[in-house]
Amino acid sequence: MEILQEGLYVVAALDNVLTIDTGLHAVGFEHAHFPHCAYDFTEGWAGDMHPPSRKDFVSLTLTGQGSGNYNNSKQWRRQSCWRKWKRLSRLQRNLILFTVALMLLCGIATYPSVTEHFRGLTVVAKEEGDHALKPVVHEVQPALDKLNRPLVPESPSEKQKRAAHKRGPPGLQNRLQKKGNVSDTQVEKEEGEKPLVNWHVAMIDQATERGTAKEAANKVDVPEVEQEGHSHKEPEVDRLEAVRDAFRHAWKGYKEFAWGKDELRPMSKSYGEWFGLGLTLIDALDTMWILNLKKEFEEAKTWVSTELSFNKNVDVNLFESTIRILGGLLSTYHLTGDTLFLDKAKDLGTRLMPAFNTPSKIPYSDVNIGKGTAHPPRWTSDSTVAEVTSIQLEFRELSRLTQDTRYQAAVDEVMQKVHKLEGKQDGLVPMFINTNSGQFTHLGMFTLGARADSYYEYLLKQWIQGGKKETALLEDYLQALEGVKKNLLKKSSPNRLTFVGELAHGRFSPKMDHLVCFLPGTLALGAHHGLPADHMELAKQLMETCYQMYAQMETGLSPEIVHFNMHEGSIGDVDVKLADRHNLLRPETVESLFYLYRFTKDRKYRDWGWEILQNFNKYTKVSTGGYTSINNVRDPEYPSPRDKMESFFLGETLKYFYLLFSDDPELLSLDKYVFNTEAHPLPIWPTAQ
DSSP 3-state of 81: helix
Q: Which is the catalytic residue, given 154, 286, 382, 453?
A: 453
SS3 of 134-170: the string is EECCCCCCCHHHHHCCCEECCCHHHHHHCCCCCCCCC
- Sign of the torsion formed by the C-alpha atoms of 214, 215, 218 and 223: positive
CA distances from 455 to 159, 352, 469, 507, 592 (A): 45, 20, 19, 22, 17
Q: Give catalytic status of residue 404 as yes or no.
A: no
547 by Cβ neighbours in 10 Å (0-12 / 13-18 / 19+) ranks as: buried
User: Does the active-site annotation cover 588?
Assistant: yes
**Alpha-carbon distance 195 to 188, whole Å?**
10
Phi-psi region of 438 (alpha: psi -120 to 50; beta: other; left: phi over 0): left
Q: Is 387 one of the catalytic residues?
A: no
Which of the following is catalytic: 397, 588, 635, 646? 588
Residue 441 burial (CB count, 10 A):
17
DSSP element (H, E) containing 446: strand 445-446
Contact 327, 394 (CB under 8 A): yes
Is the bond preceding residue 142 a cis peptide, omega within 30 degrees? no
Q: What's the rounded Cα separation, in Å, for the pair 642 and 263?
A: 13
Q: What DSSP designation does 325 have? A: I
- Which residues 6+ apart lie within 8 Å of 280 measured at CB? 254, 258, 261, 262, 263, 264, 645, 647, 650, 651
Torsion of CA 322, 327, 333, 335, to 10 degrees: 180
By the 8 A CB rule, do 186 and 204 touch? Answer: no
Inter-CA distances, 408 with 204, 332, 392, 414, 499, Å:
45, 20, 7, 10, 35
63: left (phi over 0), alpha (psi -120 to 50) or beta: beta
Asked whether the beta carbons of 17 and 26 are under 8 A apart, the reply is no
Beta-strand (E) ranges in 22-152? Answer: 36-39, 60-63, 124-126, 133-135, 151-152
Q: Judge whether 557 and 613 are in contact, CB under 8 Å.
A: no
Residue among 283, 560, 643, 646 flagged as catalytic: 560
Q: HSE (CB half, 13 Å, CA atoms) of 102?
A: 6
Determine the distance from the C-alpha atom of residue 90 to the mean position of all C-alpha atoms in its chain, rounded to a whole number: 54
Residue 2's beta-bridge partner residues?
A: 10
Q: Which of 559, 563, 581, 580 is nearest to 572 (CA)?
A: 563
Q: Is 245 an active-site residue?
A: no
Angle of helix 239-257 relative to helix 603-619, nearest 10 degrees, comes to 30
Instruction: In whole angstroms, give the CA distance from residue 289 to residue 287.
Output: 5
Task: Spell out the residues 6+ positions from residue 53 whose beta carbon is closer than 8 angstroms to its own.
Answer: none
Catalytic machinery residues: 320, 453, 560, 588
